[in-house]
Amino acid sequence: MTKYVIEIKYRIICILTVFFTFISVIIAYKFYIIHLVLWMNSTANSLNYFILTSITELFSVFFNMSSFLVKYMLYYYIYYHVVSFLALGLYHKEYKYLKKIFITSLFLWILSTSIFWNMLLPMTYDFFFNFQHRSTETLNVFFEPKMDEYLNFILNVYSQSYTCFQLLLVIIIFLEYTNTNLNAIKKLKKFIYILILLVATLITPPDILNQMIIFLFLVLSMETYLFSKILKKNLYLTLLIR
């Protein structure tokens, strides 16, 4: 028992060390953290595009950006320590299963970040900053971008993108747990669609556009996964017959 307590203390110390080191680095490079909001989009034409109305607003931008970085960086580090601590008490199959979940989740995180950086972020930038350039004589719009509001919007979009891809992991785990019984899934497909719609509603209130985007994304991803399973099964049966 003492050995496990010592190991728990050791892992907590490791996590806290990384946490405070990361916080110290963020504070030391606070100037670059603020500018990261401006540099996030490579299509930005000017670094003087944002408006700050107070010092507290600047601090709010710094705090929100720092919390965002710390949250996503530490999540996988803590997950690694939890799995490593439980590894000796797990069967080899269970350990491999948790390891597979970790790698898949990490891959989906990288994929969602890549799609956000290359697709969603430029789209939001075009909407926010180029709208006034497209103004006509009949619709003359002047947009004053506030840094804190823009950052909050961007972080919300990223969080929704991340959640969408991580929900794919939940769907994959569910289908693997049920051994992908295609007949049972076919019968329960309506209920699965309703469940996905409820999840999309809960994570995107009250924006119906994002709700439908997430719903369609998850449904299409599930159908693609099921199609690949059917294709793999038919290919296996074909090779078995031959």
| pLDDT per position as a tens digit, 28-81 | 888 888 777 666 655 544 445 667 777 788 888 888 888 888 888 888 888 888
Percent of the chain exceeding pLDDT 90 equals 1
Q: Determine the pLDDT at residue 134.
A: 62
**Residue 140 in domain:** yes
**Residue 189 in domain:** no
**Residue 84 in domain:** yes
* Containing structural domain, residue 116: 2-146
* Total count of domains within the chain: 1
| pLDDT per position as a tens digit, 24-34 | 888 888 888 87
**Residue 115 in domain:** yes
Whether residue 206 is preceded by a cis peptide bond, meaning omega within 30 degrees of 0, is: yes
- 169 token code pair: 């992991």
CB 80 within 8 A of CB 105: no
**Residue 61 in domain:** yes
**Residue 60 in domain:** yes
Name, in order, each residue with C-beta under 8 angstroms of 125's C-beta and a sequence gap of 6 or more. Answer: 41, 43, 44
Of 60-74, 131-145, 158-172, give the range with the top mean pLDDT.
Answer: 60-74
Choice between 129 and 197, residue whose per-residue pLDDT is larger = 197
CA distance 11 to 85: 8
**Residue 212 in domain:** no
Helix (H), strand (E) at residue 215: helix 208-241
In this structure, of 1-5, 61-65, 143-147, the range with the lowest mean pLDDT score is 143-147
CB 14 within 8 A of CB 81: yes
**Residue 219 in domain:** no
Beta-bridge partner residues of 51: 146
